Structure 1
């Protein structure tokens, strides 16, 4: 193998490995008590109402078995029916009202619920993937988390 080709192969492998190892963080503050925040994050009837990144998408179903080793899943679809995808995984650690860890495929995520001065800070740290840019992934997950905060706060006042 010539050195230039070997260099390209090694660079490609290293780049792929780095992208697979990247961790992305999003967070929001929710002006509500921890029990309401936790329940909305972990209850399927609530998840289908807030789990969207934009108004032209919706979550059609969700399932949660909130225990270590338990499974979760949700189905997100474009409202026009043009596309959709399933998001599923297994809970690996649950600390009620404080932390949820889960695996989805070969990736992992952690969700922290931290009391803050104006409510609960919800922070999600997840393994990035290589199909979309870091910016796209961060924007999408942040939009969903912002939707979650709006939903919980609106539910609290109704």
Structure 2
């Protein structure tokens, strides 16, 4: 099955983008696809073999899940790759002028339509962009 890709330009220095993307306290602020969800807990051990886990829940308490995985590649300020279940994802950080082009590529799952998965991951990346740019 084809992989899904989402992208965004984040206008902040690479170290700010990298640190904000990987800091658990920041992750809890930006990691949501819609206003009725939130991340209530985040743990992140950013190294090859290290694990991450983000507890995401509906704000009304009706449902929740853990988005968790293991890092398979970490190149400072350039690339993060991880596996989550049987799926894989990678994030590229490309600094150009005043911004960082972030590209996330991931294996889709079989439960939801590809368009819905792409829209959800894009919404999270867009939230990240807004959060970082509001801090700078």
TM-score under structure 2 normalisation? 0.98
Q: Residues 51-81 of structure 1, C-alpha deviation per residue, up to 9 Å, x if partnerless?
A: 0011111000000001000000001111011
Q: Tell me if the contact between 1:67 and 1:91 (Cα under 8 Å) persists in the aligned partners.
A: yes
Q: Which has the larger radius of gyration?
A: 1
Corresponding residue for 1:70? 50
CA RMSD of aligned residues (A): 0.8
After TM superposition, where is structure 1 displaced by more than 4 Å over at least 4 residues in a row? none
- Larger proportion of helix: 1
- Larger proportion of strand: 2
Alignment of 1:9-158 (within 5 A): 21-156=1-136
Matched length: 136
Is there any run of 5+ residues in structure 2 with no aligned partner, and where?
none
Q: Tell me if the contact between 2:13 and 2:98 (Cα under 8 Å) persists in the aligned partners.
A: no
- Distance between the aligned counterparts of 2:95 and 2:48, measured in 1? 23
Is there any run of 5+ residues in structure 1 with no aligned partner, and where?
1-20
Q: Residues 21-57 of structure 1, C-alpha deviation per residue, up to 9 Å, x if partnerless?
A: 3200001010000000000011100000000011111
TM-score under structure 1 normalisation? 0.84
